[in-house]
Structure 1
Amino acid sequence: MKGINEESLRLLEKCVMIHNPKLISWISSENLYRLKPNQYNELRSLVNDEFLVEGIDKNYEPNEYGLRLENLIDELGRLFM
């Protein structure tokens, strides 16, 4: 199973804290790699929520932050494939 890097983990933590802080325990080092696919998808959804709020510019194109969020969504997807 592939992991995610520290920068991505910090970004995930930020998204969780903004959009659903009750799930913060899911991303502890002991839990992140033991989640079920639906839980990973819920985390991906939280990252997508952040993308929609902060990750696109006025022309609906991903900004630099949005590109990082898109990458994180992909990384989370690889954790359960």
Structure 2
Amino acid sequence: MSTAVLNVKISAELKDQIRLHAEQNNETLSAITEKLLSQALFAANESPEPGHEDIDNQHTEEEDVSPLNPKEIKALRKLLKKKK
């Protein structure tokens, strides 16, 4: 397996967390970073975002809105005329 260099800008806090994790596992910063990136990519590929067909909307209800009756339409027209 060949190796490649990857320069990434991360926060100092995250770098400290990775360094601590590497020390606890007796690994180098480079090795633990590679392992964590591999695990993250594997997890991302295993559990993709739910698709439209995966969303359960069985218990949702649409609100039934009745159209305006003639009396309400007349009142709205009257209000609009007053604004002009």
Q: With structure 1 as the length reference, what TM-score do the two structures score? A: 0.29
Report the structure number with the largest CA radius of gyration. 2
Q: With structure 2 as the length reference, what TM-score do the two structures score? A: 0.28
Specify which structure has the bigger relative contact order, considering alpha-carbon pairs within 8 angstroms and separated by 6 or more residues.
1
